[in-house]
């Protein structure tokens, strides 16, 4: 079956540093990818998305990189802030979203 | 429109009882999805609708689970004869066809079966 996996369950960074969260997916038919942020007790919150015809997309302080050759996705957060502390999920979709396990980002002041 | 709404936010029920959750999607979205999330895990796909048609059901969705979207707007998820293993967060999301512009999630319904 298809799967989406994150490389690290926990990432700890210093406030102000850049964060990189990685993700791998298995379904080569996936053509749409989303990164979500989830805080305790809340539903996933959309951060940024990318379609398979792109390699890179930038938002405010966030960048998503897609490498279709190795089925790898990454989320870069610039100048990480305490408010960025949360669980981050990547999800891929040919028709419905399949989620990875999540990486907990801890920001140290 | 304030996004995807789910009701109730929390539900505690005794094993063997039936429960029903409601989801009101973003009104312009024609697709509606149900997911289940247990502690420390990513959301798991359960089922999705396009308008009122249920297009896909996960093998995770046992016969005790049923979902409806009768008029293509709100949806209900019913769990019959609840078991302790059903304890989880049930998330609803909505999107345009194909997921363009992302899938918007509600805050979820936290079910505890005692």
Chain segment A5-60, per-residue pLDDT in tens? 666 889 999 999 999 999 999 888 888 999 999 999 899 999 999 999 999 999 99
pLDDT at A5: 67
Residue A95 is predicted with a pLDDT of 78
pLDDT tier for residue B101 given thresholds of 50, 70 and 90: low
Residue B83 has pLDDT above 70, yes or no: yes
Interface probe for A, chosen from B23, B43, B89 (most Cβ of A below 10 Å), is: B43
Does residue A75 register a pLDDT over 60? yes
Q: Which residues of B touch A4 (CB under 8 A)?
A: 42
**Closest CA of chain A from B45, distance in Å:** 7
The pLDDT of residue A1 is above 60: no
Six token digits for residue A13: 């960074």
Q: Do A89 and B56 touch (CB under 8 A)?
A: no
pLDDT category of residue A3 using cuts at 50, 70 and 90: low
Give which of B6, B23, B29, B42 to mutate to test A binding, by max A Cβ within 10 Å: B42
The reported pLDDT for the residue numbered A66 is: 97
Q: Report how many Cβ contacts below 8 Å link chain A to chain B.
A: 54
Mind spelling out the 3-state secondary structure of chain A? CCCEEECCCEEEEECCCCEEEEEEECCCCCCEEEEEEECCCCCCEEEEEEECCCCEEECCCEEEEEECCCCEEEEEECCCCHHHCEEEEEEEECCCCEECCCEEEEEEC
Q: Is the CB of B102 less than 8 angstroms away from the CB of A4?
A: no
Q: What residues of chain A, 14 to 53, have a C-beta less than 8 Å from chain B? A: 32, 34, 36, 41-46, 49
Q: Establish if A99 touches chain B: CB-CB under 8 angstroms.
A: yes
- Give all strands (DSSP E) within B1-114, no chain letters: 5-7, 10-13, 19-24, 31-37, 44-50, 53-57, 65-68, 75-79, 88-95, 104-105, 109-113
Q: What is the pLDDT of residue B114?
A: 97
Which residue of A34, A95, A101 is in closest CB contact with B102? A34
Cβ separation B56–A95 shorter than 8 A = yes
């Amino acid at each position: 079956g298809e799967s989406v996996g994150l490389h690290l369950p926990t990432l700890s960074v210093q406030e102000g540093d850049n964060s990189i969260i990685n993700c791998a997916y298995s379904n080569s038919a996936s053509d749409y990818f989303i990164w979500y942020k989830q805080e305790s007790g809340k539903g996933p919150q959309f951060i940024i998305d990318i379609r398979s015809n792109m390699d890179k997309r930038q938002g405010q302080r966030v960048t998503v990189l897609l490498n279709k050759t190795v089925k790898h996705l990454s989320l870069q957060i610039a100048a990480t802030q305490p408010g960025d502390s949360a669980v981050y999920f990547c999800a891929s979709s040919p028709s419905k979203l399949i989620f990875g396990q999540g990486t907990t980002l801890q920001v140290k002041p | 429109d304030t996004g995807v709404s789910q009701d109730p936010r929390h539900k505690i029920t005794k094993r063997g009882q039936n429960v029903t959750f409601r989801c009101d999607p973003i009104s312009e979205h024609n697709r509606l999805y149900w997911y289940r999330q247990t502690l420390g895990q990513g959301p798991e796909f359960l089922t999705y609708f396009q308008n009122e048609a249920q297009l896909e059901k996960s093998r995770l969705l046992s016969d005790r689970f049923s979902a409806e979207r009768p008029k293509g707007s709100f949806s209900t998820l019913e769990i019959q004869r609840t078991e302790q293993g059903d304890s989880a967060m049930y998330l609803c999301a909505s999107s345009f066809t194909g997921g363009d512009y992302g899938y918007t999630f509600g805050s979820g319904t936290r079910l505890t079966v005692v």
